[in-house]
Amino acid sequence: MAEQARSPRHPRSRRTPLLFTTRRVLAAAVGVALAGGAVACGPKDAAAGKAGDAPRKGGTLTVLNSEPQSDFDPARLYTSGGGKVPTLVFRTLTTRNRANGAAGAKAVPDLATDTGRPSKNATVWTYTLKDGLTFEDGSPITSGDIKYGIERSFAAELSGGAPYLRDWLVGGEKYQGPYKDKSKDGLTSIETPDDKTLVFHLKKPEGEFPLLATQTQFAPVPRKKDTGTKYEEHPVASGPYKVVKNTGDGERLLLERNTHWSPKTDKERHAYPDIIDVKSGLDASVINQRLATGSGADADAVTTDTNLGPAELAQVGNDKELQKRVGTGRFGYTNYLAFNPKVKPFDNPKVRQAIAYAVNRRSVVNAAGGSSLAEPATTFLPNQKSFGYTPADPFPAGATGNPGKARKLLKEAGHKDGLTLTLTHSTAKNFATSPEVATAVQEALKKAGITVKLAGLEDNDYKDKVHSLKDEPGLFIGGWGADWPSGGPFLAPIFDGRQIVKDAYNFNHAQLDDPAVNHEVDAINKLTDLDAAARRWGALDKKIGEQALSVPLFHPVYKRLYGKNVKNIVISDWDGVLDISQVAVK
């Protein structure tokens, strides 16, 4: 997710989290090491040293981005508690902890007094709002405003946001939003017994509801101020900033202080700058050059969607001052080879295992930009605690692969003279499916006696093919990121048989429908102890991995420059992006 490249797994145009295109992750066949190993600093780091270096209020923060902040309506946005522009304007029931690394992968209260109170079986969740919450016009925020904000996200004309509420709430699959439903009670699975209480009734246990409640659909919207599809032009702010200008559908977004926002009710957002000026639609190389040079307003600038490229990394490696201005982040994302066992010869587990042994992850990592921008993966879950990461390597082949072991398995599978296969990939220069990564896989498998023919498709054609149950190829390069840091939205869409989609985008590439896996998904979803749930997700990941239904290749690392006057850099494992709600400028 989501800020997201559009790769829907849901009929309502679901957007894959932290998208390929806006991420600008390097896909060149070049391995450039970043000298000095710059890391993100947190509030304590930023405040260290001279007293004058501590973050202070005032000034204008400029955000230079590649992708426009389009559809700036909480119903249509696909974001989950991250540190990007929407979180400055829209508060939600919960948000993510604004802290570096793993500490930032937890949900904390935002508009609510806590992260939610579940019933015994986690099918009913109750929230109480804090005192003193107001919109930008000073009017109070009520539970009814949050319910209405959620209800309007069901309207067809406001589609594009996360699909979970439609799937989780009782009656959600039939509800069509408040513009069509004129009933007094609206979506009855959301109760508002008073102005400060919300009660959600779910179809089944969902222990991760507090993580879902970080989504922008949980932002309050006053019914009387709702202008439908035009609401994005001037949404009513509940956060520390309000929209004063939105031109070019988010290409230029100007935010100023919301004077009715009270920091007493919001411990997570610092809101240091007076103005946030978001300029989008810029070329990645231009953004990085402006940030590196730092002239004028660019000294007070950041980016939330543009990575360093090969030339910029080389420049940074030779400049100690630039090295100090590189933020490093990790978003829970995995790039992998996907098998469709319904297609021969991938119905034979030994063929799949042979490919797993043959892959040279070192060459794949180099094709993805080198060790500065990619880390080799042997598990489907990202290597972060919040996902339940459990170290495992079911087909250990070292950093460069084991072609001898692969040949042996192919012989046992009846292919003593080798195989000829087709590998489908996108021709777009994106992170997950780049031609360079495909070529690296091709070269590695050749050493094991496997001839790989590359089938490069234009990106839209690629997505239509690999996500079609009817047309899905036997072998393709894929990628997946979670909508929040947990194994649930990572493993379930890919390996839960009940999420196989016949008439729309399908992401269960192996078409796995294992009752034991499905049962374990349900069992974990009942847990409200998310640390215990994480351990179970890790165990399930290991179990599925042993079936060789995919070959994990690498996890991305994000490196982004920020302006020389920017302070208080916070980058969490929630999305790996600099949190603009924390930064200050001189």
Residue-wise pLDDT for 283-335, tens only, equals 999 999 999 999 999 999 999 999 887 678 888 888 999 999 999 999 899 99
Do 518 and 336 meet the contact criterion of CB atoms below 8 Å apart? no
Q: Specify the pLDDT at position 80.
A: 67
Helix 403-412 and helix 349-358: axis angle, to 10°? Answer: 170
Q: Give the mean pLDDT of 171-189.
A: 94
Q: How many degrees, rounded to 5, is the angle at CA 362 between CA 358 and CA 364?
A: 75
Q: Give the mean pLDDT of 400-406.
A: 98
Residues 6 or more apart from 408 whose CB is under 8 A from it?
Answer: none
Note the pLDDT tens digit of each residue in 146-165. Answer: 999 999 999 999 988 888 99
CA 153 to chain centre: 20
Give the helix/strand (H/E) hosting 364. Answer: helix 361-367
Q: Specify the pLDDT at position 54.
A: 84
- The answer, yes or no, to whether residue 109 has pLDDT greater than 50, is yes
Distance, CA of 498 to CA of 486 (rounded, Å): 19
- Residues of the chain with pLDDT > 90: what percent? 81
Q: Specify the pLDDT at position 59.
A: 97
- The answer, yes or no, to whether residue 552 has pLDDT greater than 80, is yes
Distance, CA of 235 to CA of 72 (rounded, Å): 8
Instruction: Report the candidate in 357, 93, 367, 368 with the shortest Cα–Cα distance to residue 238.
Output: 93
Q: Give the mean pLDDT of 330-345.
A: 96
The identity of residue 113, as a single letter, is: T
Q: Specify the pLDDT at position 31.
A: 32
CA-based max dimension of the chain: 75
Distance, CA of 279 to CA of 53 (rounded, Å): 27
- The answer, yes or no, to whether residue 45 has pLDDT greater than 70, is no
* Residue with the larger pLDDT of the pair 318 and 350: 350
Query: What six digits make up the tokens of 450?
Result: 């496997």
Q: Specify the pLDDT at position 6.
A: 32
Distance, CA of 299 to CA of 290 (rounded, Å): 9
Instruction: Report the candidate in 555, 537, 437, 445 with the shortest Cα–Cα distance to residue 487.
Output: 537
What is the overall mean pLDDT for the chain?
89
Give residue 52's pLDDT band: very low, low, confident or very high (50, 70, 90): low
- The answer, yes or no, to whether residue 194 has pLDDT greater than 90, is yes
Q: Give the mean pLDDT of 74-95.
A: 88
Indicate the burial class of 314 (C-beta count within 10 angstroms; 0-12, 13-18, 19 or more).
middle
Residue 345, preceding bond cis, omega within 30 degrees?
Answer: yes
3-state SS class at 257:
strand
- The answer, yes or no, to whether residue 108 has pLDDT greater than 70, is yes
Distance, CA of 260 to CA of 257 (rounded, Å): 9
Instruction: Report the candidate in 225, 67, 217, 196 with the shortest Cα–Cα distance to residue 135.
Output: 225
Instruction: Report the candidate in 119, 269, 78, 302 with the shortest Cα–Cα distance to residue 201.
Output: 119
- The answer, yes or no, to whether residue 431 has pLDDT greater than 60, is no
Q: Give the mean pLDDT of 21-32.
A: 32
- The answer, yes or no, to whether residue 13 has pLDDT greater than 70, is no
For 224-279, list the strands marked E by DSSP: 241-247, 252-257, 275-279
Query: What six digits make up the tokens of 96?
Result: 């993510």
Do 237 and 261 meet the contact criterion of CB atoms below 8 Å apart? yes
Q: Specify the pLDDT at position 81.
A: 58
Q: Specify the pLDDT at position 347.
A: 98
Please state the pTM of the whole predicted model: 0.89
Q: Specify the pLDDT at position 105.
A: 94
Q: Specify the pLDDT at position 429.
A: 72
* Domains in the chain, CATH or no CATH each: 75-232 (3.40.190.10), 333-556 (3.10.105.10)
Instruction: Report the candidate in 78, 103, 106, 80 with the shortest Cα–Cα distance to residue 92.
Output: 80
Q: Specify the pLDDT at position 82.
A: 60
